[in-house]
């Protein structure tokens, strides 16, 4: 594979721009195209940064697919557009870096992976947490059994600001596909075992939200290897982007704590005031977003195997479906994974 | 009531000695008797510390009850002896400070409280966490709604060293009565609401223990006021006496963190090593044990009302019984509290 | 030596009461007498705690010295009384535990130690920081050269509340004998080397204080082994009892941090508020005061050698005198220690 | 001034590349030229990142000066080249962003500023710490006297790895111009007052270094407004890039702490191991480097006044010269600033 890979970027929202900047900073990529509905904004952005990149709208995506200098596509557009972009890109022989979720249900997701296999192209679901330096250290300690076997994984994961009501109304997957999916992938990855059962309790503090979705879920999982997991995942933490992981093992505990927004402290006789934690995922996971891109480039250049694979994604989907049943039936649900 | 209260102390195990020392340091108490099975050891201890205190064995407890200088009894003997000591002491007109649990089941516990009401004496169940300075600050912020309403209470509570197998074999109440009872009382106190449902998942990593008891429980509670609670409570944390409480509210989060064993840090280029957390409840809750004694003395001297009352204890027992059913049925259980 | 040592305690101020309580909690001591100017208060205190201890006033100290059950004297009275109590007690064959400073100048201090040698009794200057568990760990790492040789010792040491103006007017030793003496002993003990030179800059923010004493001193010391030391020592930190020690070594850094007053934290989107640090030396060094008593008892029972000895005290005094010259001359002063 | 400014960058070492990347990420700059001795490497770098930028060697700098699209020059080459680049650039009508020090002595530095005034161009000395978000918060609290007046500023500033012996041999300014200059500018900026006197003690642990320079300096400063300052500044901390600032005020303390390298913690019964602090200035001050560029652009676009001005630089130089005399004379030196 070439030392510099031609990239087409679909979507210029928050995640799209993060990937664009990371591509600009990487000597291994050469962004050829950006695809955006609002091409006036796309043009303006590229001029502002003096970037020698072509732009077009999604309806002219064929032009991008026909460009032989494009080796891979980064998909950061809305979830409902993923399936079509994935299928067409694979058929045109492009590798794919795709924001989660691949698609909004397990069947179409499986079809995408089957197609990737058929065309022998990589389909990478960008579960960024796996590429966070702190979580990678934790994973490494677990794999090397530095503190023995894991007994209990605790994940706290809360967004700062709840989306507007309209968002819930139109959002099919709900909090499980939006957010809990990251926690479920994280614990599977850490534990290296499949779940035996899952129980989810949920609530909404805003009665309007309760009509469509949950604002807070408490997930309890029993793994086949005997470990347990508890996740508290919510739409709104107000005190910051809460992202903590903790693994109690036979011989101690491994943790990844929250990130402070800055390094300032003020102390008086009655209290010390320190900065709060980061309010935004773009700050907390800045390094993870760079690393996941570099991982994808490594895979394309044959330096390593893809870390987030088809089986991972399908298992997480099964877990989400079992979780949905658990919410509906108000009881734990067993998983028939072998 | 007198400015110095005559005290009889039953039991000279770890908790008994803590209470004895706290009495020695309090100018409001005058310890008159200690009651211990091994009276040779009792005599030796009193001589060692040069304490002008009488001692006797449980079978001569009537002598203590007949001593009019004894105003109150502190019961720190094994749980199976509580009921008898409570009943006889109340009938002899003594107030009672009793280690948890009052008795091992809800019916006899209720009878004890009924008797206390009949004889108009105080029966204090020493839930020490309510008297911990840090938890009291947290409770005060919640009561004054400094950060709005509580949404999620998270309690982590783990002992350091698991008891020997024999302990489990002969222990009727199991982890719920031994340990989770503290967490359940704590969350009820903090939230000021009664539970609507409880779900408990449990496991044991040691198959021998699994025959008799759980080593780890994950408790999920929904409260009537909409708040949720998740507790992870275990027999063995190995990294220290893990005692953390966290309350996510509308406008932020309140926390009580673990206590470091000391203030030393060593840093090299790759890591900083700080002291672990306290390994023992006697260190972590030293101030709470002093404060609960002072509270009991305040109540006896008419300065305030008893903070842990009959209703609290009976509600916690109902919650434990529902939790046991949840474990047996492997499903959430609703509570019919009104 | 006996397993329980008879103690006479002189002074019932803050430090006196700390020592009294620690004696009560130690099975190796038997407090026989307390000596206090205000004997009405002394009697009241002993009755309050139900303590079987005799009391008297300083003018009847001969009665105490004539009591053969008294093995050792704890001197916690005002500095100007130390010399007389020490001399008479040594002549009566009693060992001595004395609050710092032994006396207010080097000559009389030396005479006290000479007398102790003559009568073969122990004279212990209670430099409590040497017995603080965290500082002891730091000292142990230094002695074992875990991070190589020390290069720079940094000590921050600030009281919380400045004394009233009258205090400065009548206080001969000033901040150096009151407070910096602890820091100077600490660094000598840690470094295991004698100073080659000392420089002290000082200031007072209150012009009234400036007439008599310094409110803040910055001490720079070069040691013969090449290590350096910087101390900032002040009368008033307002944010708490600031007591930090840090040693930069060849291979890393060793630290003792401040102690938090409690374990509570409150976080909102813009900040986290944690408890301030302890406001009082009685809290910060509670364990050190217990340990220094136990050390003294160990020495008396022949279990170990006295850790704070004559040479230590005289060297610290030389350093204070050189420091005074440095303040007067506004220049560094060399020390002729061999 | 234009909304996008043409930039020429001199030097592509560590700092040069940081500025290049920050320019690439800023829509307000358009890098036109890079100037580097090794033009083969320069070309390679630009190709690697697909950057449409011209490159040349210093001997062809006139081509750059003649390019009217170049509005400003960023000088990140070695200190001995600064004076010539500054003079020629100013004469060609370019604004200047210059790494510290402007030149290696006060006279030539003053001449540079005089020339900038003559040609009415901005000459910005990039003291990055002033643009660090945490230090800016601290400065803001001081300016608003949130905790009253400052009493003592403490700065700890240590590099991680000492340079090779050759470096010391050829380095004219020594540690004061290399490193302490940042601390001196920082405290002047924070305190908003000029120094009355300075004392510097120094040492070197490596006797070879001692022939040319100091490895560790302890700086004590008295300010005219009564505040004091102590700085410990060293070539090698081994445990990480130590960068701490602390200001004791009338009513409390303000601090900027060190930055952790990551968020991972591992705890066992005897200790907790957390990540060390950042090892590199590029990590610690990444945001400051971005902010100082944005500040320079703001100044050029007339949005604010230059924050680091001629007077600041000349005062810092006077302080360095007084500090050098203090080291030579081994005594404090007064400053005749009015």
Going B12 to B13 to B18 to B21, the CA torsion angle's sign is positive
Mean pLDDT value across residues C288-305:
97
Helical spans, DSSP H, in chain D:
14-24, 39-48, 61-65, 79-91, 106-119, 133-143, 165-170, 174-175, 181-191, 207-210, 281-284, 286-300, 310-329
How far is C293 from C307, CA to CA, in rounded Å?
Answer: 12
pTM of the model: 0.95
Q: Which residue of A has its CA nearest to D24?
A: A49
Q: Which residues pair with C248 in a beta bridge?
A: C152, C253
Residues of D in contact with B270 (CB under 8 A): 276
How sure is the predictor about A337, in pLDDT bands with cuts at 50, 70 and 90? low
Has residue A332 got a pLDDT over 80?
yes
Which H/E stretch holds residue C62? helix C61-65
Asked if residues A153 and A190 have their Cβ atoms less than 8 Å apart, the reply is: yes
- Residues B122-175: tens digit of each pLDDT: 999 999 999 999 999 999 999 999 999 999 999 999 999 889 999 998 887 899
Q: Identify the CA nearest to A313 among candidates A208, A166, A177, A142.
A: A177
What phi and psi, each to the nearest 5 degrees, are found at residue D164?
A: -70, 160
How many Cβ atoms sit within 10 Å of the Cβ of residue D118?
A: 10
Q: Identify the CA nearest to C38 among candidates C7, C59, C64, C8.
A: C59
Has residue A336 got a pLDDT over 80?
no
Q: Cβ–Cβ of A30/D21 closer than 8 Å?
A: no
Mean pLDDT value across residues C145-153:
97
- Residues A45-69: tens digit of each pLDDT: 999 888 889 999 999 999 999 999 9
Q: Which residue of B has its CA nearest to C248?
A: B267
Contacting partners of chain C (3+ CB pairs under 8 A): A, B, D
Which of D52, D254, D267 minimises the CB distance to A266?
D254
Q: Cβ–Cβ of C248/D330 closer than 8 Å?
A: no
Q: Express as a percent the part of chain A with pLDDT over 90.
A: 86
Find out whether the peptide bond into C220 is cis, omega within 30 degrees of 0. no
Interface list for chain A against chain C, based on CB atoms closer than 8 Å: 160, 238-240, 267-277, 279
Asked if residues C313 and C125 have their Cβ atoms less than 8 Å apart, the reply is: yes
**Integer CA distances (angstroms), B312 to B185, B306, B307, in order:** 7, 11, 9
Mean pLDDT value across residues C236-261:
94
pLDDT score, position A239: 87
Q: Cβ–Cβ of B262/C147 closer than 8 Å?
A: no
CB pairs under 8 A between B and C: 89
Place of tokens 């963190």: B257
pLDDT score, position A189: 97
Q: Which residues of D146-166 are buried (b: 16+ CB within 10 A; e: fewer)?
A: ebeebbbbbbbbbbbebeeee
How many Cβ atoms sit within 10 Å of the Cβ of residue D264?
A: 24
Which H/E stretch holds residue B102? none
Q: Which two tokens stand for residue C107?
A: 């000559």
CB pairs under 8 A between A and B: 86
Paired sense of beta strands B5-10 and B29-35, if any: parallel
Q: Which residues of A324-336 are buried (b: 16+ CB within 10 A; e: fewer)?
A: bebbeeeebbebe
How far is B289 from B23, CA to CA, in rounded Å?
Answer: 11
Minimum mean pLDDT range among A228-232, B69-73, D191-195: D191-195
pLDDT score, position C63: 98
Asked if residues D237 and D159 have their Cβ atoms less than 8 Å apart, the reply is: yes
How far is A301 from A293, CA to CA, in rounded Å?
Answer: 12
How far is A321 from B215, CA to CA, in rounded Å?
Answer: 29
Helix (H, G, I), strand (E, B) or coil at C243: strand
pLDDT score, position D337: 54
Q: Fill in the DSSP letter of residue B277.
A: B
pLDDT score, position B304: 96
Paired sense of beta strands C95-98 and C252-256, if any: unpaired
The residues spanned by each domain of chain C are 5-126, 129-334
Residue, of A162 and B116, whose pLDDT is higher: B116
- Which of D272, D274, D278 should one mutate to test binding to chain B, selecting the residue with the greatest count of B CBs within 10 A? D272
One CATH from 3.40.50.10490, 3.30.70.20, 1.10.3720.10, 3.40.50.720 for D5-126: 3.40.50.720
Find out whether the peptide bond into C101 is cis, omega within 30 degrees of 0. yes
Q: How far apart are the first and last CA of chain C?
A: 37
How far is B184 from B181, CA to CA, in rounded Å?
Answer: 5
Nearest-Cα distance to chain A for B205, in Å, is 7
How far is D247 from D238, CA to CA, in rounded Å?
Answer: 25
Has residue C3 got a pLDDT over 90?
no
Nearest-Cα distance to chain B for A318, in Å, is 21
Contacting partners of chain B (3+ CB pairs under 8 A): A, C, D
How many Cβ atoms sit within 10 Å of the Cβ of residue C17?
A: 16
How far is D44 from D33, CA to CA, in rounded Å?
Answer: 14
How far is B325 from C112, CA to CA, in rounded Å?
Answer: 74
Asked if residues B15 and B99 have their Cβ atoms less than 8 Å apart, the reply is: yes
Q: Cβ–Cβ of C266/B259 closer than 8 Å?
A: no
- Residues C160-185: tens digit of each pLDDT: 988 999 999 888 789 999 999 999 99
Find out whether the peptide bond into D101 is cis, omega within 30 degrees of 0. yes
How far is D312 from D310, CA to CA, in rounded Å?
Answer: 5
Q: Which residue of D has its CA nearest to B273?
A: D273
Asked if residues D112 and D87 have their Cβ atoms less than 8 Å apart, the reply is: yes
How many Cβ atoms sit within 10 Å of the Cβ of residue B257?
A: 18
Minimum mean pLDDT range among B36-40, C258-262, D334-338: D334-338
How far is D92 from D121, CA to CA, in rounded Å?
Answer: 10
Minimum mean pLDDT range among A148-157, C133-142, C237-246: C237-246
Beta strands in chain B (DSSP E): 5-10, 29-35, 54-56, 72-75, 95-98, 123-125, 150-158, 195-203, 216-223, 228-234, 242-249, 252-256, 264-267, 271-275, 333-334
SS (H, E, C) D112-139: HHHHHHHHCCCEEECCHHHHCHHHHHHH
How far is D221 from D228, CA to CA, in rounded Å?
Answer: 6
Q: Which two tokens stand for residue B80?
A: 């199976």
pLDDT score, position A323: 97
Which of B199, B203, B248 minimises the CB distance to A201?
B199
Long-range contacts, stretch B84-90, CB < 8 angstroms, 24+ apart: B85/B10, B85/B61, B86/B112, B86/B115, B86/B116, B86/B123, B87/B112, B87/B115, B88/B61, B89/B65, B90/B115, B90/B116, B90/B119, B90/B121, B90/B123
pLDDT score, position C306: 97
Query: One fold for both C5-126 and C129-334?
Result: no
Going D102 to D104 to D110 to D115, the CA torsion angle's sign is negative
pLDDT score, position C270: 82
pLDDT score, position D277: 83
CB pairs under 8 A between B and D: 52
Mean pLDDT value across residues B64-88:
97
D268 Cβ neighbours under 8 A, 6+ residues apart: A147, A251, A252, B238, B239, B276
Q: Fill in the DSSP letter of residue D307.
A: S
Residues of D in contact with C203 (CB under 8 A): 222, 226, 228
- Residues C199-219: tens digit of each pLDDT: 999 999 999 999 999 999 999
Mean pLDDT value across residues C223-235:
96
Q: Cβ–Cβ of A201/B332 closer than 8 Å?
A: yes
pLDDT score, position D237: 87
Q: Identify the CA nearest to B173 among candidates B323, B282, B313, B58.
A: B323
Asked if residues B31 and B23 have their Cβ atoms less than 8 Å apart, the reply is: yes
pLDDT score, position C337: 55
Dihedral, CA of residue B70, residue B72, residue B77 and residue B81, to nearest 10: 90
Burial (0-12, 13-18, 19+ Cβ within 10 Å), B323: buried
How far is D65 from D93, CA to CA, in rounded Å?
Answer: 8
Nearest-Cα distance to chain D for C330, in Å, is 7
Topology (CATH) of D129-334: Dihydrodipicolinate Reductase; domain 2 (3.30.360)
How far is A217 from C97, CA to CA, in rounded Å?
Answer: 61
Q: Which residue of B has its CA nearest to D274?
A: B272
Mean pLDDT value across residues C258-267:
92
Mean pLDDT value across residues A128-141:
97
pLDDT in tens, chain D (338 residues): 678 999 999 999 999 999 999 999 999 999 999 999 999 999 999 998 888 899 999 999 999 999 999 999 999 999 999 999 999 999 999 999 999 999 988 999 999 999 999 999 999 999 999 999 999 999 999 999 999 999 999 999 999 988 999 999 888 789 999 999 999 999 999 999 999 999 999 999 999 999 999 999 999 999 999 999 999 999 998 889 999 999 999 999 999 999 999 999 999 888 888 877 877 888 999 999 999 999 999 999 999 999 999 999 999 999 999 999 999 999 999 997 55
pLDDT score, position B1: 61
Helices (H) and strands (E) in chain C, counts: 13, 15
Nearest-Cα distance to chain A for D336, in Å, is 34
How far is D179 from D100, CA to CA, in rounded Å?
Answer: 10
- Residues B239-278: tens digit of each pLDDT: 899 999 999 999 999 999 999 999 999 998 888 888 778 7
Q: Which two tokens stand for residue B45?
A: 């201890």
pLDDT score, position B2: 76
Q: How far apart are the first and last CA of chain A?
A: 37
Mean pLDDT value across residues C37-45:
96
How sure is the predictor about A274, in pLDDT bands with cuts at 50, 70 and 90? confident
Q: Which residue of C has its CA nearest to B22?
A: C25
- Residues B214-242: tens digit of each pLDDT: 999 999 999 999 999 999 999 998 889 99
How far is B180 from B221, CA to CA, in rounded Å?
Answer: 13
pLDDT score, position A278: 77
Mean pLDDT value across residues A128-139:
97
Residues of B in contact with D239 (CB under 8 A): 267-269, 272
- Residues C75-120: tens digit of each pLDDT: 999 999 999 999 999 999 999 999 999 998 899 999 999 999 999 9
Residues of B in contact with C133 (CB under 8 A): 262
Residues of B in contact with A152 (CB under 8 A): 216, 218, 232, 234
Interface list for chain C against chain A, based on CB atoms closer than 8 Å: 160, 238-240, 267-277, 279
Taking 3-state DSSP, the helix, strand and coil percentages for chain C, each rounded to the nearest 5, stand at 40, 25, 35
Query: In this prediction, does ipTM exceed 0.95?
Result: no
Has residue A15 got a pLDDT over 90?
yes
Q: Cβ–Cβ of D267/A251 closer than 8 Å?
A: no
How far is A324 from D113, CA to CA, in rounded Å?
Answer: 69
């Amino acid at each position: 594979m070439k030392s510099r890979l031609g990239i087409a970027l679909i979507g210029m929202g928050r995640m799209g721009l993060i990937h664009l900047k990371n591509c600009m900073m990487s000597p291994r990529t050469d962004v050829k195209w950006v695809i955006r509905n609002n091409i006036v904004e796309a043009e303006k952005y590229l001029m502002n940064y003096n970037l020698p990149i072509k732009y077009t709208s999604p309806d002219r995506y064929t032009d991008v697919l026909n460009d032989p200098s494009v080796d891979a596509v980064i998909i950061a557009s809305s979830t409902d557009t993923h399936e079509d972009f994935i299928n067409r890109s694979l058929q045109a022989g492009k590798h794919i870096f795709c924001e989660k979720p691949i698609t909004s249900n397990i069947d179409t997701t499986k079809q995408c992976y089957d197609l990737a296999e058929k065309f022998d192209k990589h389909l990478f679901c960008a579960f960024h947490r796996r590429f966070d330096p702190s979580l990678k250290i934790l994973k490494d300690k677990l794999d090397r059994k530095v503190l023995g076997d894991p007994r209990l994984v605790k994940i706290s994961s809360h967004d700062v600001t709840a989306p507007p009501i309209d968002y819930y109304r139109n959002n099919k997957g709900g909090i499980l596909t939006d957010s809990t999916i990251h926690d479920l992938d994280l614990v599977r990855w850490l534990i290296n075992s499949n779940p035996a059962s899952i129980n989810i309790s949920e609530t909404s503090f805003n009665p309007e939200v309760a009509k469509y979705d949950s604002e807070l879920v408490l997930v309890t999982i029993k793994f086949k290897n005997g470990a347990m997991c508890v996740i508290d995942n919510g739409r709104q933490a107000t005190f910051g982007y809460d992202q903590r992981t903790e693994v109690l093992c036979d011989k101690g505990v491994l943790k990844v704590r929250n990130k402070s927004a800055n390094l300032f402290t003020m102390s008086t006789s009655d209290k010390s005031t320190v900065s709060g934690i980061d309010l935004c995922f773009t700050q907390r996971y800045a390094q993870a977003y760079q690393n996941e891109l570099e991982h994808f480039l490594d895979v394309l250049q044959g330096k390593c195997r893809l870390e987030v694979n088809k089986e991972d994604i399908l298992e997480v989907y099964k877990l989400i479906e079992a979780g949905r049943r658990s919410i509906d039936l108000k009881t734990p649900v067993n998983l028939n994974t072998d």
